[in-house]
């Protein structure tokens, strides 16, 4: 299977694709922060893609690097995600959103090819509209030890669960699972630039792979 290749998006953001354009796509969107800083590649999503792509050569994994990775420029992140969906050119798309990327994915889910959102420790804040999930599916994985600490970003599982329950009350199908002893991130970036998996990373990967098993079959 070929390695990741660069992809310039119509929004001006960068992406990279592992797999073939036109295949069923998994569009991966990163978290963010308050400060308006240039986008970076997600170590957590990169580690997952490197592990899962060889097992699913039938899928195209598209990782997005926002122009600005900040929830204070949320609308730009959504534009970048939508541009990645368009660039993937797939008839069927799954959005994989980590942290703030969960909210970005939900906000982008009304795009015609999107079948569902898989949120990893997703930031589903209480004011986030969920009407974009109509006729879609929402699956959530969250670490039991995830929380915000001084200088360390995090998302409480209680917050994502409230969002999941709001979606379920609106008739959105899906699932919610807590991963015991897992933190917010799945991997961190080493000084040399490689993604280093955190202790529960393999469990995250197993759970994501299990949910990918139903895509693109729609089962």
In tens, the pLDDT along 128-164 reads: 999 999 999 999 999 999 998 776 779 999 999 999 9
Are 123 and 103 in contact, with CB atoms under 8 Å apart? Answer: yes
- What is the Cα–Cα distance from 121 to 187, expressed in whole angstroms? 13
**Secondary structure class of 7 (helix, strand, coil):** strand
Place of tokens 């998994």: 26
Q: Where are the alpha helices (DSSP H) in 53-156?
A: 74-88, 100-108
Bridge partners of residue 143, in order along the sequence? 179
Quote the pTM value.
0.95
Are 69 and 30 in contact, with CB atoms under 8 Å apart? Answer: yes
In tens, the pLDDT along 83-109 reads: 999 999 999 999 999 999 999 999 999
Token duo for residue 107: 């906000």
2 pLDDT tier (thresholds 50, 70, 90): low
In tens, the pLDDT along 61-75 reads: 999 999 999 999 999
- Domains of the chain, first to last: 5-212 (3.40.50.1820)
Bridge partners of residue 175, in order along the sequence? 139
Give Cα 79 distance to the centre of its chain. Answer: 15
- Strand order of the β-sheet with 174-179 is 5-8, 14-18, 60-65, 25-29, 93-98, 114-120, 137-143, 174-179
In tens, the pLDDT along 177-205 reads: 999 999 999 999 999 999 999 999 999 99
Maximum distance among all alpha carbons in the chain? Answer: 46
């Amino acid at each position: 299977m070929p390695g990741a290749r660069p992809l310039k998006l119509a929004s001006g953001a960068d992406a990279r694709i592992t797999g073939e354009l036109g295949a069923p796509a998994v569009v991966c969107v990163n978290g963010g922060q308050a400060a308006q800083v240039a986008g970076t590649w997600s170590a957590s999503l990169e580690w997952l893609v490197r592990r899962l792509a060889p097992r699913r050569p039938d899928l195209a994994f598209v990782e997005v690097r926002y122009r600005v990775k900040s929830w204070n420029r949320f609308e730009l992140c959504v534009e970048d995600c939508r541009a990645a969906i368009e660039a993937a050119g797939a008839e069927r798309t799954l959005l994989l959103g980590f942290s703030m990327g969960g909210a970005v994915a939900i906000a982008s889910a009304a795009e015609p090819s999107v079948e569902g959102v898989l949120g990893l420790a997703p930031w589903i804040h209480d004011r986030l509209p969920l009407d974009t999930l109509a006729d879609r599916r929402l699956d959530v994985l969250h670490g039991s030890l995830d929380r915000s600490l001084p200088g360390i970003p995090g998302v409480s599982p209680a917050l994502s669960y409230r969002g999941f329950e709001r979606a379920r009350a609106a008739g959105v199908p899906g699932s919610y699972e807590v991963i015991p002893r897992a933190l917010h991130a799945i991997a961190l970036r080493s000084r040399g630039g490689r993604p280093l998996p955190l202790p529960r990373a393999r469990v995250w990967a197993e759970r994501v792979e299990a949910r990918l098993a139903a895509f693109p079959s729609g089962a």
